[in-house]
Structure 1
Amino acid sequence: MFGGIGINLGMTSFFSKNGENIPCTIIKIGPCYVVQIKTVKNDGYYSVQLGIIDKKKKRTTKPLQGHFEKAGVFPKKKLLEFRGDFFYHLKLGDQINASFFKEGELVDIKGISKGKGFQGVVKRHNFSGVGERSHGQHNRLRAPGSIGAGSDPSRVFKGQKMAGKMGGKNVTVKNLKILKIDKDQNLLILKGSVPGNKNSYLMVNKKNGTKNFGY
């Protein structure tokens, strides 16, 4: 099975049987509904489109209303696509929840990392700065320093690490272990942290070789 759409509920602590305090993340899985199934014959590749969280019909465009009606599901706020041919047993309108996962198995989590805005080289690239505050260097502590030679090549090479926007990118964290599952509330407790803010959407992929593209 490929996985499902999750919502990041935040981090907490989980105590193991040995009394070890383990930092973990709580993710709410769906329930997700199969909105569309793509095949090589019709679309050129295999994939399944999942939707999560009901959306008011009046706030849904006419084309999307027809898209959801074809699948027999209520309009959804978020749609994500999972590529792969591991969904041969699924049908339009099927529900995916926490019961599709097992305790102890590994999953890959993909999401959009927290946006940090415009940051300097010390925070963005772990630079140490020009040097200590001595000999008049009162404003050089977090400066990038030289970015290239003057006479030759007389330019800055592409890819030079400099200040700029940080975060807000697609990030995948692999091989997170499922410590516990609450099937009644569709919750997964994962060991470690995941990308994104609280209440952000995540792609939760089971470790079975399934490929997914885009977010």
Structure 2
Amino acid sequence: MAFILGKKVGMTQIFREDGIVVPVTVIEAGPITVTQLKSPDKEGYGAVQFGYGVAKHPNKPATGHTKNAGSNPKTLRELHGDDKAMEAKEFAVSIFKPGDIVKISGNTKARGFQGAVKRHGFHGMPASHGHHHVMRHVGSIGQRFPQHTLPGMRMAGRMGGKRQSTRGLEVISVDADHNTMTVRGAVPGRRGTLLEIRTQ
């Protein structure tokens, strides 16, 4: 399984040879450095730890942890599984090729406290026939029995800022010289969001 960390740059569109417009997301991917190989005997589980980016002001514990890797990464992520193929020192975006189907995970845009209409797509109340000040209210949140609101009731609250994965994205192009890749469609998050990219 190919795996790399990247940063969302933004969306654009490209034109295929047959004239079809393809919406794509540009991702600045890699390179990532292997900082630690975890084994079931020592750590209790098998995993490969990767580092991405460069920390501006690394503290001493972080510097000591990544001393053997020869880098001070800004972000650390783990890929579980005792995979001997991951024992290389560094991975670049060139491990992907056009046509690969990938799954991309990241945090969605955080939109703060939102009402039920925006957060859950409620239609709201009628805007006439005596209604006033309630057009975007939730409405009934329960019944006479059991006399309390049931867990999971869709109401207003904090929207976004959660981890989300998008599957089935096709890699359109890979530029190893500039460490960028383009995938068809949209990926979670805003510009600059940290993304985990892996083949399915």
Do both proteins adopt the same fold according to a TM-score greater than 0.5, normalized to the shorter chain? yes
Aligned-residue offset at 1:55: 2.1
Instruction: State which of 167, 170, 177 in structure 2 corresponds to 1:174.
Output: 167
Deviations 1:164-187 (A, max 9, x none): 000000000011000111111111
Cα distance in structure 2, aligned partners of 1:88 and 1:101: 15
SS of structure 2 residue aligned to 1:88: helix
- SS of equivalent to 2:66: helix
Give SS of 1:65's match: helix
Q: Select the residue among 75, 91, 98 that pairs with 2:93.
A: 98
Question: 2:125 matched to 1:130?
Answer: yes
Aligned equivalents of 1:83, 1:14: Cα separation in 2: 35
Q: What is the Cα deviation at residue 88 of structure 1?
A: 3.5
- Mean CA deviation greater in 140-149 or 166-175: 140-149
Give the secondary structure class of the aligned counterpart of 2:63: helix
Contact 2:31 2:90 survives alignment (8 Å): yes
Deviates more, 1:141-150 or 1:164-173: 141-150
Distance 2:37 2:46 in 1: 8
Letter in 2 for 1:65: T
1:64 equivalent among 38, 52, 62: 62
Partner Cα distance (2:136, 2:86) in 1: 56
Match of 1:212 in 2: none
> Is residue 113 of structure 1 aligned with residue 108 of structure 2?
yes
RMSD across aligned positions (CA): 1.3
2:17 paired residue number:
17
Relative distance call for 1:186 and 1:192 in structure 2 (3 A) is same
How big is the shift at 1:62?
Answer: 1.5
Q: Structure 2 vs 1, CA of residues 86 and 17 (structure 1 numbering), >3 Å: closer, same or farther?
A: farther
Deviation at 1:17, TM superposition (A): 2.1
Report the equivalent of 1:45: 45
**Aligned CA distance change for structure 1 residues 17 and 87 (closer, same or farther; 3 Å):** farther
* TM value normalised by structure 1: 0.88
Question: For 1:9, what is the secondary structure of its paired residue?
Answer: strand
Structure 1: tracts of 5 or more residues without a match: 208-215
Q: CA deviation at 1:14?
A: 1.6
Normalised TM-score (structure 2): 0.95
Aligned to 1:157: 150
Q: Mind listing any 5+ residue stretches in structure 2 that lack a counterpart? A: none
Q: Percent identity?
A: 38
User: Given that residues 178 and 191 in structure 1 are in contact (C-alpha distance below 8 angstroms), is that contact kept between their aligned partners in structure 2?
Assistant: yes
1:9-65 Cα distance to aligned partner (Å, 9 max, x none): 010002122111111101111111111111222212221111112224xx2221211
